[in-house]
Homo-oligomer: A and B are copies of this chain.
Amino acid sequence: MMNKPLTIGHLARAADVNIETVRYYQRVGLIQEPHKPATGYRVYPAETIDRIKFIKRAQPLGFSLQEIAELLDLGDGHCDDVRLHAEEKRDQIDQQIRDLTALKKTLDKLITACQSENDASHCPIVETLAGNNNKGTYNT
């Protein structure tokens, strides 16, 4: 028996996205649309599943499709150029991790305070993250 060709519907299912999302990603160039065979439907390479999953995991981390495309393109260029971009991305991610860690710490404190004693009337969440300690450290 033949194993089933990975047509768009199966691809969408495997990557757990709407079929229209796949088409959309093709339109904006995030994934490549395979050639349409003389007869029949388009067949996708299995790697496309991983590519879409990557996209879907990167989005809730705060990356736009544009930024994700840049990440995905990192493997393609020439070394020097790639390294520069990769370093830039890494620094950006580093900052995100720092911000999230600070936020987490604040939540932990809030949770602890809540457990130990009462009067959770006001919490320092806003002050912590609004903090002047790191003003406008984001680039791009």
- CB of A61 within 8 Å of the partner chain: yes
Q: Does A32 contact B (CB under 8 A)?
A: no
Q: How far is the CB of A77 from chain B (nearest CB, A)?
A: 8
Is A110 touching B126 in the complex (CB atoms < 8 A)? no
Q: SS class of chain A's interface: helix, strand, loop or mixed? A: helix
Chain A 113-130 near chain B by CB (<8 Å), digits 1 or 0: 011011011110111011
A140 at the interface (CB under 8 A from B): yes
Pick from B77, B79, B130, B134: contact of A54, CB under 8 Å: B130
List B contacts of A49 (CB < 8 A).
130, 138
Additional A-B contacts beyond A51-B126, A75-B120, A93-B103 (12; CB < 8 A): A4-B140, A14-B134, A54-B126, A57-B130, A60-B62, A61-B96, A61-B103, A75-B110, A82-B110, A86-B110, A86-B111, A86-B114
